């Protein structure tokens, strides 16, 4: 699709593959290609799950500092807005998204991984928000998505110190969901994504939207969001298939169409 980002579809699983040697540093071109790939994956009805992957050596080591170092205030404001918009596009992919983290996921790289629903890391992976060491703060969601995931105190520790977190600690604090040998990261992500590839696509999208939107509002509003999504699913083919299968054959045997 692009020079630095490719969308690779195999069956019902799409992989958004970063490929900007050596460290997948996020510059303006990669940012724009990432957003384009995310939109394409989200628009493809055949795609039921998505993997974010930077290759065998590194996920993404952060923003391209050489590109950013001399930006003016006005330029930085626009740069930050564009990067947030690109990552928001990834976060809004309706299908379940798994980040396959090898090597480093730092700064903007970790912020990209935070846009996924699940994160699988290699044993030697290191993650973190090192922006404070450059005299700035995370600008693409780190101060917002990270505390929502691991809690404010732990997030402040990572953001205030800028330290690198090893895979075992990341697992312990809930920053990643699974740690596997380095050479098994992508396969583990595919295995996780495959859980959803044959699921009821509309219901999965509704569940994701209900959880994500509900985290931003009070409980009463969140329950209303849930109620509306729940009722709306009774207009889908998959609801009829799922409930009929349950009654006739028992749980877990439905073959969904995604409609």
Distance CA 241, CA 63 (A): 46
| Residue 234: Cβ within 10 Å count | 9
Given a contact cutoff of 8 angstroms between Cβ atoms, the answer to whether 109 and 24 are in contact is yes
Determine whether 181 is exposed, middle or buried from the number of CB atoms within 10 Å of its CB (0-12, 13-18, 19+).
exposed
- The Cβ-side half-sphere exposure at 178, using a 13 Å CA radius, reads 19
Give start and end residues of each alpha helix (H) in 48-72: 65-68
**Which one of 33, 131, 169, 191 is the catalytic residue?**
131
Could you confirm whether 131 is annotated as catalytic?
yes
Distance CA 53, CA 16 (A): 6
**Which one of 3, 33, 70, 111 is the catalytic residue?**
111
Distance CA 27, CA 83 (A): 9
Give residue for tokens 């992989």. 15
- According to DSSP, residue 105 is labeled E
Could you confirm whether 33 is annotated as catalytic?
no
Provide the annotated active-site residues: 111, 131
């Amino acid at each position: 699709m692009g020079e630095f980002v490719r969308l690779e579809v195999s069956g019902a699983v799409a992989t958004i593959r970063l490929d900007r040697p050596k460290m997948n540093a996020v510059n303006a071109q990669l940012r724009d290609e990432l957003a384009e790939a995310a939109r394409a994956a989200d628009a493809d009805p055949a795609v039921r799950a998505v993997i974010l992957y930077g290759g065998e050596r590194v996920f993404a080591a952060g923003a391209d500092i050489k590109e950013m170092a001399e930006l003016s205030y006005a330029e930085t404001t626009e740069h930050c807005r564009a990067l947030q918009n690109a990552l928001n596009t990834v976060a809004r992919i309706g299908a379940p998204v798994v980040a396959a983290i090898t090597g480093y996921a730092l700064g903007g790289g970790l912020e990209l991984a935070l846009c996924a629903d699940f994160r699988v890391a290699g044993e030697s992976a290191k993650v973190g928000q090192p922006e404070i060491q450059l005299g700035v703060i995370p600008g693409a969601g780190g101060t917002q998505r990270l505390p929502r995931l691991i809690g404010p105190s732990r997030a402040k520790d990572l953001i205030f110190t800028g330290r690198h977190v090893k895979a075992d600690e990341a697992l312990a604090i809930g920053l990643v969901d699974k740690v596997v040998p380095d050479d098994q990261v992508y396969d583990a992500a595919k295995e996780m994504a495959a859980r959803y590839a044959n699921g009821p696509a509309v219901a999965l999208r509704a569940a994701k939207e209900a959880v994500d939107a509900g985290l931003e509002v009070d409980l009463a509003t969140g329950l209303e969001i849930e109620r509306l999504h729940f009722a709306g699913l009774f207009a889908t083919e998959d609801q009829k298939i799922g409930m009929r299968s349950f009654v006739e054959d028992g749980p877990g045997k439905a073959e969904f169409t995604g409609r």
